[in-house]
Amino acid sequence: MSYLIRRAAAIFSSSFPAATDIRIRDNRIVELGTDLPVQQDEHIINANGCVVWPGLVNTHHHLAQSILKGVPAGLNQGLGEWLGSVPYRFWPKITPTQMYHAARLGLYEMLRSGVTTCADHHYLYHHDTTPELEDAVWQAADELGIRLVLCRGFATEAGTHKGMARHNILPETLQQVVDRLDHSRKRYHQPQQDAMRRLVVAPTSLIHSSRPDTLEILAQYAKCNGLRRHSHLLEVAFDEHQSLEKYGMPAIDYAAERGWLGSDVWFAHLVHSNAHVIERLADTGSGIAHCPTSNCRLGSGIAPVPQMAKAGVPISLGVDGSASSESGSMLQELNLAWLLHRAVCGPEATTLEQMLEWGSKGGAEVLGLKDIGEIKVGQAADIVIYDIARPRFAGIHSPLMAPLLCAEPAAVWYSFINGRPVIEKGQLKGLDEAELTRQVQLSVAELLSSV
């Protein structure tokens, strides 16, 4: 299929900042310009009154938590207690059907905010987990047409993980992790740089729930099979305290000792980072998924991301789970990241352009998807068109950045993923909103009755 996007108010493209038109053929951007002539058999998209961005790339999410929003017991708790009161209270009870509806809801929210690629840190694995629970996530992504990077979580011991210990969850064995990873890799993983499906090796925690030798074995498994690696690290000070107590070294040094730093590694949060942490991340090319909303919601703190960026650490943004970031919107993450660091470090700490790059190109680079994240000739056509011809944006003097400046609610008019429209004229294809709402509400009721 060929498309011509015409007469946009503005397009975020470093290669052609003045462009108003984009030509898409098959799954690629083949031309940028102004007043491009219409070619035979081309579908015309009128982008008058719209701005065009590269698709946003969410590098850390927990789709299962889409049915765990605003759980009363965890509303005023920090991470440690919240884990026991919310996700680990419910997740052993989540069925494949409930996971499917949770994934559809989470992906729906992301698509509505401009996301075209989602990295889901899926950690609903224990000794007796069935493969259908993971399959439900892949199925939901396939049906909605979004790129999915499934970060396959694991925990081989409860250890100091408060959530697992509190609910007596029986962890997987190392052999189960390897066998199940291998099954998923052979069935789903695509190695190409414009892959629609990627698998990542992703321990739930480096410090609290995996033995040192387990981490080394699975780091080697990832390297041998061309898989990237991801985990939570330094979200709270407890990570550092436990690493010093258990291993006699800072958490970042423990990660290095176990083979968990490198240009194919990124961590969620890294809130409690100091100069030593930043230096080690920069030296090894290890990246961050910055999750400002969740870190605020749980009172975890603020990651020193501007300092990381200056040091050369790869930066990306993540929504985190909807049990601690109830909006599920990447636009909110961009907006809050822009504001939060200015509040702490002054108005020159962040720029709008920097936020959009972190949320698109930066995310693509962290995930190793080098054919997405930018609007330029040759890239895969992951493109979002926001309608700003609405009262909310009428007074804006910077139209290109209107969705970031004004944040939610925003209106995605079209969304292309791999050259295919998944949102057309504001309608998400293949999804009945009323039916989704009913199924999610039913899933919540079922969960509450099971605990």
7 falls within a domain: yes
141 falls within a domain: yes
pTM to 2 decimals?
A: 0.97
Q: Which residue is it, tokens 């990306």?
A: 316
For 181-197, what is the mean pLDDT?
A: 97
pLDDT at 297 (0 to 100):
97
Handedness of CA 191, 122, 98, 324 (dihedral sign): negative
443 falls within a domain: no
Q: Which distant-in-sequence residues (6+ apart) come within 8 Å of 37 by Cβ?
A: none
Residue 163 has pLDDT above 70, yes or no: no
403 falls within a domain: yes
Both 99 and 242 in one domain: the answer is yes
The CATH number assigned to the domain holding 417 equals 2.30.40.10
Both 238 and 139 in one domain: the answer is yes
Phi, psi for 317 (deg, rounded to 5): -125, 150
Both 126 and 215 in one domain: the answer is yes
The CATH number assigned to the domain holding 175 equals 3.20.20.140
256 falls within a domain: yes
Both 228 and 355 in one domain: the answer is yes
User: Using one digit for the tens of pLDDT, what is the confidence trace for 427-449?
Assistant: 999 899 999 999 999 999 999 99
Domain residues for 11? 2-54+383-428
User: Using one digit for the tens of pLDDT, what is the confidence trace for 290-324?
Assistant: 999 999 999 999 999 999 999 999 999 999 999 99
Residue 271 has pLDDT above 70, yes or no: yes
9 falls within a domain: yes
Handedness of CA 370, 373, 374, 375 (dihedral sign): positive
441 falls within a domain: no
Crossing angle of helices 174-188 and 212-224, in 10° steps, is 20
pLDDT at 171 (0 to 100):
87
Both 331 and 421 in one domain: the answer is no
Both 407 and 264 in one domain: the answer is no
Among 314, 338, 367, identify where a domain stops: 367
135 falls within a domain: yes
Both 48 and 63 in one domain: the answer is no
Q: How many domains does the chain have?
A: 2
Both 387 and 350 in one domain: the answer is no
Both 404 and 362 in one domain: the answer is no
User: Using one digit for the tens of pLDDT, what is the confidence trace for 338-380?
Assistant: 999 999 999 999 999 999 999 999 999 999 999 999 999 999 9
Q: Which two tokens stand for residue 198?
A: 């990627």
Both 233 and 220 in one domain: the answer is yes
Crossing angle of helices 433-450 and 96-113, in 10° steps, is 130
